[in-house]
Structure 1
């Protein structure tokens, strides 16, 4: 090994191992001095790939340095898109953060990932392969494998982890965080609900609708502690912040998607909110309680519950969610839920007539869209006729349904399935994301039953409703609906506003 003044150790460093301590000590004994920890994905946390926030990782490294006596410098490296310039980016980040200009003459790179090590090797750096070192008598477990032991509830992780990580994990209860995030059935690897969602489009659409949503529910909001779960980029909380009657309320946004949470934090830093008591948390409410019991006066959820149904375990997940909201609601407090909703008779067979002249009509739907770039998917689906799009929807929809083509652009199917398609057919930019979500899983009566089971009283203000703009501009121009005998049917409800109150004596 070449004598060096520095060891550059790039990695996510969620957990440090006893093996790493022994290995780095040997490098120091061979002449290296300072360990430069380049902590990658430093701007990511609460995701399956990055469950531990940077400041906790930094704390464990600093503790590691004190315990081992290894002189360390810790540098956060923000996530970037995959690039062959990763090594150069990391080196430049180290220079900007510390003033150190690491070179092959004074630095050895510690890295066990062959593809990453090769990038530094191409720049002339000597490589210490750490867990992949061929001179080792046995292959040690990598830190990520030890973290997965922890996530699985296997206490043997403590025998492999370094005491510094164990100490920080225990003090800040990070084991619970890691287990919740890594085992989460809802959240993707990068902290969003799906890997295919275009969050820019999502934020724009939600911002456009925020005023309408807030106007529809404002009269039911109780001052005090107001929590918007699934707050997106904070558009509704911005409107609440401008409401003088709520100026003494705490406004709390809870968002699971990393992209949206970061936008909320950015807005707060830029002074968008007047109220000093505005807070944001990146949490998945299915992973456990977010707020203390009996502490919230008003909970708001907009366009969220259908996602819990779709990405979780359907009714079981929704019921667990409702019970958690009930628990954190003050007696007499309110949960206001505005979301899509299935028609009351969603299993009723109907005939759906769709246009065939507004796009191409291939002989069969494609079965490979999941493997294609999103731009190609959008272009392909946009070019289909409405009738052909139904066939493609039936292939890609995560909730299988049956339909019977009867000729001339007509299909026989259940009313709920028809509305699931009709309310989704124009979302071509996010087709592979939208087809993972079911809008018509529950109807209004189903909601009443579920919320009563969770302990809520249903306010008489609760009601199903129909979005006539969607009907007039999106659905009616390309489709018509009849019963199986051909008699025309009115378009059913598409949404619901539900005002659920925790009883005062509960």
Structure 2
């Protein structure tokens, strides 16, 4: 055989792989073709190591083992039974080499993937599968779990690259991250295109609300989405000498930020983007940031993390990287004052369908079907569906024509009920986990001073157009309650003497 095709993610190379590849019969000048899949992914649980670091380790592996190698990046694709064909065509495009069953053996230990190549007529060398040797991913998990025996199993080429670029700590952080999912986002059910469009549409309003509190210098937008707010900051003459930094954990949104910068959207040359999760460790040196911006982010940290403990860790990280006299500006949803008090909620039954029972299979249905079904429910029936799909248990009782539940749970439903397009994503998030008093207490406890500019707000358009026409709130004696606040703007400063 002239070639050995070795498809895989190749985040870590092992001593076993070196011995195995050397043992395969190859003609003189035989070449190992490393098809590095998910080459456009990094910093996720499934793909913690960036392609260029994987490539560096393979090239060093090649030199150390004497195996002639070609390294070809293969971008991630949607699951397809034509994966083998796509990979072979990708290699031909990149290298001009045509791999065929006559000149190539495929080295692959994953039966499902090997079957795709076998179907095309390729001979399969099953690598770890035929010997029971530990697979590279298992060795990587040893590393992530703090088991130093990974160094004995990994090939010295990988150990060298990991040590030089401090990748071991980065892998541990990403693989063990409690917030970020396997593919680098907070949730697998979110439609990031509509999400980015929504943020872009509201960017001007957000920037207008916070602009006067921004301190020039190093300005960081954490959870920057597709960079819409930083685009507006970039146009401010007073900030032309500032560094503008976007931090985004979701791969889809980060990629869009990088694309915008490459297309010349930003005039300021000092615009930078990082793909990081702040909860995974310090992103910036202590006392190095003048202004931190967060929009609609803290409720996600609360929801997808470990609620109070994750949020406190985030606030502490912000405080630590804020320069004395610097400011953190946080705009987000907020629970009503006295959110635990019991209330009576009455909901319209005439504005949609009223099935006998809520469905319990929506998580397995296509997004368009979910959206259409939920949108067709009455406001009252949609609450029953919300109670099934909501990640945070809702305690309620039917009280005549009303529901008896907490003020916070009532508002969590009412402020979420119209997000049918992203229903399974939105029902993973809690809007009313904290009220304003909780925020002030947390900020003071960490060390921030709460500026007098901080305030709560109510989205009157949502109340007037989406909530009040189909719902009413009373206390337990039937007295009507005013619709409460829905959002908070926090301006928190690190004291100069810290």
- TM-score w.r.t. the length of structure 2 is 0.98
- Out of 417, 442, 451, the position equivalent to 1:450 is 442
Q: SS where residue 72 of structure 1 aligns? A: strand
Match of 1:169 in 2: 162
- Among candidates 10, 13, 17, match of residue 10 of structure 2: 13
Moved more, 454-463 or 481-490: 481-490
Q: Which among 470, 473, 485 is matched to residue 493 of structure 1?
A: 485
2:357 alignment counterpart:
364
2:342 pairs, out of 349, 352, 373, with 349
Contact kept in structure 2, 1:7 and 1:32, CA below 8 Å? no
Whether the aligned pair in 1 keeps the contact of 2:2 and 2:27 (CA below 8 Å) is no
- The yes-or-no answer on 1:266 pairing with 2:259 is yes
Name 1:468's counterpart in structure 2. Answer: 460
SS of 1:22's equivalent in the other structure is helix
1:337 aligns to what? 330
Could you tell me how far apart the structure 2 residues matched to 1:223 and 1:92 are?
50
Offset of residue 407 of structure 1:
3.2
Q: Does 1:129 align with 2:121?
A: no
Q: 2:106 aligns with which of 105, 109, 125?
A: 109
Where in structure 2 are the equivalents of 1:286-325 lying within 5 Å?
286-325=279-318
Tell me the secondary structure at the aligned position of residue 24 of structure 2. helix
1:146 aligns to 2:139 (yes or no): yes
Per-residue CA deviation, residues 379-437 of structure 1 (Å, 9 max, x unaligned), is 221111100111111111111121122233x2121111100000100111111111111
* Alignment partner of 1:275 out of 268, 271, 277: 268
Deviates more, 1:343-352 or 1:219-228: 343-352
Distance of 2:269 and 2:164 partners within structure 1: 29
Question: Could you tell me how far 1:463 is from its partner in structure 2?
Answer: 0.6
Partner of 1:502: 494
Quote how far apart the aligned CAs of 1:321 are: 0.6
2:71 is matched with 74
Tell me what 2:240 maps to.
247
Deviation at 1:86, TM superposition (A): 0.7
2:401 aligned with 1:425: no
Correspondence for 1:195 among 188, 204, 229: 188
Does residue 250 of structure 2 align to residue 257 of structure 1? yes
Give the aligned partner of residue 397 of structure 1: 390
Superposed displacement of residue 32, structure 1: 6.8
CA displacement at 1:367 relative to structure 2: 2.1
Contact 1:465–1:494 (Cα < 8 Å) also in 2: yes
User: Does 31-40 or 333-342 show the bigger shift?
Assistant: 31-40
Per the alignment, residue 30 of structure 2 pairs with 33
After alignment, is 485-494 or 227-236 more displaced? 485-494
Residue 387 in 1 paired to residue 384 in 2?
no
For 1:336 and 1:7, how far apart are their aligned partners in 2?
55
Contact kept, 8 Å, 2:249 with 2:275, in 1: the verdict is yes
Distance 1:113 1:31, change over 3 A: farther
Which residue of the partner structure matches residue 86 of structure 1? 83
Aligned with 2:451 (options 453, 456, 459): 459
Indicate conservation of the 8 Å contact 2:44/2:184, yes or no: yes
Cα pair 2:2 2:26 within 8 Å, conserved: no
Query: Is the aligned partner of 1:231 residue 2:228?
Result: no
TM-score (norm 1): 0.97
Contact 2:3 2:26 in 1 (8 A): no
Contact 1:103/1:125 (<8 A) preserved: yes
> Is residue 248–residue 277 contact of structure 2 (8 Å, CA) maintained in 1?
yes
Q: Deviations over 1:179-232 (max 9, x none)?
A: 111111111111110111111111111111111011000000011000000001
Measured in 2, the distance between the counterparts of 1:28 and 1:122 equals 22
Q: Structure 1 CA distance, aligned partners of 2:466 and 2:152?
A: 60
Deviation at 1:13, TM superposition (A): 0.2
* CA apart distance, 1:28: 5.1
* 1:211 matched to 2:208: no
Aligned-pair distance for 1:252?
0.4
The 1:444/1:322 distance shift into structure 2, 3 A limit, reads same
Residue segments in structure 1 that go unaligned for 5+ positions in a row: none
Q: CA deviation at 1:372?
A: 2.2
What whole-Å deviation, never above 9, does each CA across 1:420-471 have from its counterpart, x for those lacking one?
0001001111111111110000001100000111110100000111011111
Instruction: Tell whether 2:46 aligns with 1:45.
Output: no
Q: How many residues align?
A: 498
Contact 2:29 2:68 in 1 (8 A): no
Could you give the per-residue CA deviations for residues 81-140 of structure 1, whole angstroms, max 9, x where no partner exists? 01111111111111111111111111111111111111111112111111112xx4xx10
How far apart are residue 375 of structure 1 and its match?
2.0
Report if aligned partners of 1:467, 1:493 keep a CA contact under 8 Å in 2.
yes
Instruction: Give how far 1:31 is off.
Output: 5.6
